[in-house]
Amino acid sequence: MAAESKAYTKPLPHLDEENRPWWEALKRHELYLQRCRDCGALRYYPRALCPECLSSRTEWLRARGTGTVYTFTITYQNATPGFRESLPYVLAYVELDEGLKLLTNIIDCAPEQVRIGMPVTVVFDDVTPEVTLAKFRPVP
Amino acid sequence: MSLRGKAAIVGAWEHPTRFAPNRTMFQIMAESARGALADAGLTIKDVDGLCTTGVGMGWMGLLGFSDYLNLTPSYVDSTAIGGSSFVAHTAHAAAAIAAGLCNTVLIVYGSTAASQRFAIGTGGVAGGGEPCDQYELPFGPTTVGSYAMIAQRHMHDYGTTPEQLAEVAVVARQHAALNPEAKYREPITVADVLASRVVSSPLHLLDCCMISDGGGAVIVTSAERALDLKRPPVYLLGAGEAVRHAARGVRDFLEVAAAQSGRLAFERAGVSHREIDLAMVYDSFTITVVVTLENLGFCKRGEGGAFVSGGRLRFGGEFPLNTDGGGLSSNHPGMRGMFLLIEASRQLRGEAGARQVRDCRIALVHGTGGNLGTRHSGATLILSNQAG
């Protein structure tokens, strides 16, 4: 297909020593959250220190990958390369079952069907050989 | 030490341009500085403090602007927290003056966003270098979209309607009709707002501020010095600042920075909500006003939609708001906090002409900077034409 042969033009994350394990897990189609071994606070996005107690003692918690739409917008205008060719699309915060909210896209459904509170499940979108994005789709 | 009544805005000038393809950003800034100094009856040699954001001004823009105007300030502040920056600068300037670090501070802004066709709201979100960006930019956030997600959640939780949001835009346009310098002055209706195209649901084009060119400046000095100058002083009674962000994933999205900055400003000013004669509230989008008014405590959380309805905000109504027409109808070159300060000053000095709020004694200014749905700042000031 023509679309697949085109280069991926949307912004890509910058991988570094702090976030690489998280992105590598996504590449294996596994979604992880971090939890502080000292105070127990969960956090997203991944970072080296707990923002609650500044502890460096961190454990990785495998997320269930399910949650609900917390809020969303159907984007009709965005001049950013890659996105301007994919309008309209749904930008959303999903609240994971574990209680953390993350910014993502709701895919595999008509944008007009998205509702706040809608149950969703993670979709691992391998956008480049190096990068997989955690997007979400409605639970059937 | 309280800042209450210690410093005052003594010069305020808004650049009349809304589209300036033949001017540079630094030129607009310098012309604005000239206008504000002339308004105050001061000269450039009186300036010993300088505040500007540096945003879009090249690498270390405050130094570049100092060079341009041959300034040698002994106090500088490049706080850059988006559209609220100049509101924060005013508090910082007052604190510096009260602490004896300087005497007279120039706070200055200029932008050619419109003539350079800079898509502030829909060009994607600037940046890319911060850790948080790596988890946001791949999904296509825009500035409009960030505010739209707040609107969507507000509608879901509280039944706020598109008609209620549209009322904010309609009022802005009515006020703009009374402001000869406003960019858009022809009346619009709620139906016009709802019929305009959706940029990022649920926000329509007319729910969004414009992109214009423009600039402005204010001069802040000590209350003692202010008494000898040309214009009636606009005293700073109280100030507060805040930032809000994703909060490691557990943010309450409808609690915004204004809740903290507003509470601090009211406490420090010793003023109650009922005493506010004019509110200048950043109107990047209609939802911004609704959520900000709630968080500032003018109504309860969830009641903002009803609060802005029924003509309350209209000129001559019980709650004068954004009397210059705001970013929705007067001007919005990217960081509108400067114009909140200038219009509040004009009103408190009784110079607002056809749109003058009667007996305007105390004004609240609240700037919102950044993106409400991801990371944003809030800066609140309470200003008065009386020192205490």
Q: Is the pLDDT of residue A79 over 60?
A: yes
In a domain, B121, yes or no: no
Chain B environment of A41 (Cβ under 8 Å): 248
The distance of A110 to chain B (nearest Cα, Å) reads 14
Q: Do A79 and B119 make contact, defined as CB atoms within 8 angstroms?
A: yes
> What is the pLDDT, as a whole number, of residue A6?
66
Together in a domain, B142 and B96: no
Q: Is the pLDDT of residue B61 over 80?
A: yes
Together in a domain, B151 and B279: yes
pLDDT tens digits, B160-174: 999 999 999 999 999
Together in a domain, B352 and B328: yes
Q: Is the pLDDT of residue A4 over 70?
A: no
Task: Tell me whether residue B365 is exposed, middle or buried, using C-beta atoms within 10 angstroms of its C-beta: 0 to 12, 13 to 18, 19 or more.
Answer: buried
Together in a domain, B222 and B329: no
In a domain, B124, yes or no: no
Together in a domain, B277 and B350: yes
The reply to whether A40 touches chain B by the CB within 8 Å rule is: no
For chain B, the domain total comes to 2
Task: Show which of B201, B236, B271 is a domain's final residue.
Answer: B236
Given a contact cutoff of 8 angstroms between Cβ atoms, the answer to whether B62 and B76 are in contact is yes
Chain A environment of B134 (Cβ under 8 Å): 13-14, 19, 45
pLDDT tens digits, A110-130: 999 999 999 999 999 999 999
Q: Which residue of A has its CA nearest to B121?
A: A78
Question: How would you classify residue A95: left for phi > 0, otherwise alpha for psi between -120 and 50, otherwise beta?
Answer: beta
In a domain, B372, yes or no: yes
Together in a domain, B148 and B293: yes
For chain A, where do the domains classified as CATH 2.40.50.840 start and end?
64-140
B103 versus B314: which is more confidently predicted? B103
What is the value of ipTM here, to two decimals? 0.96
Q: Mean pLDDT across chain B, nearest whole number?
A: 96
Residue B322 dihedral angles phi and psi, to the nearest 5°: 45, 60
Percent of chain B with pLDDT over 90: 94
Given a contact cutoff of 8 angstroms between Cβ atoms, the answer to whether B242 and B257 are in contact is yes
Q: How much of chain B is helix, strand and coil, in % rounded to 5?
A: 40, 20, 45
Listing from the earlier edge strand, what are the strands of the sheet with B104-111?
A: B75-77, B49-51, B104-111, B214-222, B7-14, B234-244, B376-384, B362-370, B278-281
Domain that holds residue B336: 131-210+237-384
In a domain, B267, yes or no: yes
Q: Which CATH class is domain A64-140?
A: mainly beta
Q: Which residue of A has its CA nearest to B204?
A: A76
Residue of B101, B107, B95 lying closest to B7 (CA atoms): B95
Domain at B256, CATH number: 3.40.47.10
Confidence band (pLDDT; 50, 70, 90) for B282?
very high
The reply to whether A18 touches chain B by the CB within 8 Å rule is: yes
> What is the pLDDT, as a whole number, of residue B1?
78
Together in a domain, B241 and B230: no
Task: Tell me whether residue B245 is exposed, middle or buried, using C-beta atoms within 10 angstroms of its C-beta: 0 to 12, 13 to 18, 19 or more.
Answer: middle
Together in a domain, B245 and B374: yes
Q: Mean pLDDT across chain A, nearest whole number?
A: 95
Number of Cβ atoms within 10 Å of the Cβ of B130: 11
Together in a domain, B222 and B102: yes
The distance of B156 to chain A (nearest Cα, Å) reads 7
The reply to whether B246 touches chain A by the CB within 8 Å rule is: yes
The reply to whether B201 touches chain A by the CB within 8 Å rule is: yes
Q: Is the pLDDT of residue B8 over 50?
A: yes
pLDDT tens digits, A30-56: 999 999 999 999 999 999 999 999 999
Together in a domain, B218 and B145: no
The distance of B141 to chain A (nearest Cα, Å) reads 7
The distance of A117 to chain B (nearest Cα, Å) reads 10
Together in a domain, B267 and B361: yes
Together in a domain, B248 and B361: yes
**Tokens 């990022």, located at residue:** B200
DSSP state of B321: B
Provide the token pair at A103.
Answer: 């910014």
Show Cβ contacts of residue B8 under 8 Å, excluding neighbours closer than 6 positions: B220, B221, B222, B223, B226, B233, B234, B235, B236, B387
pLDDT tens digits, B295-326: 999 999 999 999 999 999 988 899 999 999 99
In a domain, B337, yes or no: yes
